[in-house]
A = this chain, B = another copy of it.
Amino acid sequence: MIRGRVIGQVWATKRAPRMAGRKLLLVAEQVVGDSGLRDTGRVVVAVDDLDAGAGDSVLVAFGSGARNAVRPGSRDVLVDAAVVQVIDGSTV
């Protein structure tokens, strides 16, 4: 998983059928520098079922980990990234 910061949301009318109804967040990847966390500029788009909002620090899982978050054991989910935690705190 990576740690990121929610910076926004995307929406669409033209989409693959099974994407309908999914809330999609823009999450900025963060790295650790000399003065703590900073954004790298890279952005991933992740499904969110945890009601995360702009500014929240989140954990994003990828691949089948993400699909399992969306629907356990499923084999036909077409997302590849999902918010699996809204972070309360951390030691860095």
Contacts and interface: CB of A to CB of B under 8 A. Distances in A.
Interface of A: 1-3, 7-16, 18-19, 24, 26, 28, 30-33, 39-46, 49-52, 54, 59, 61-69, 72-73, 75-82, 84-92
B15 A50 contact: yes
A68 B72 contact: no
B80 A76 contact: no
B9 A91 contact: yes
B65 A80 contact: yes
B1 A79 contact: yes
B33 A41 contact: yes
12 contacts: A3-B10, A3-B43, A8-B92, A10-B85, A10-B87, A16-B49, A30-B43, A31-B42, A62-B80, A68-B77, A69-B78, A73-B75
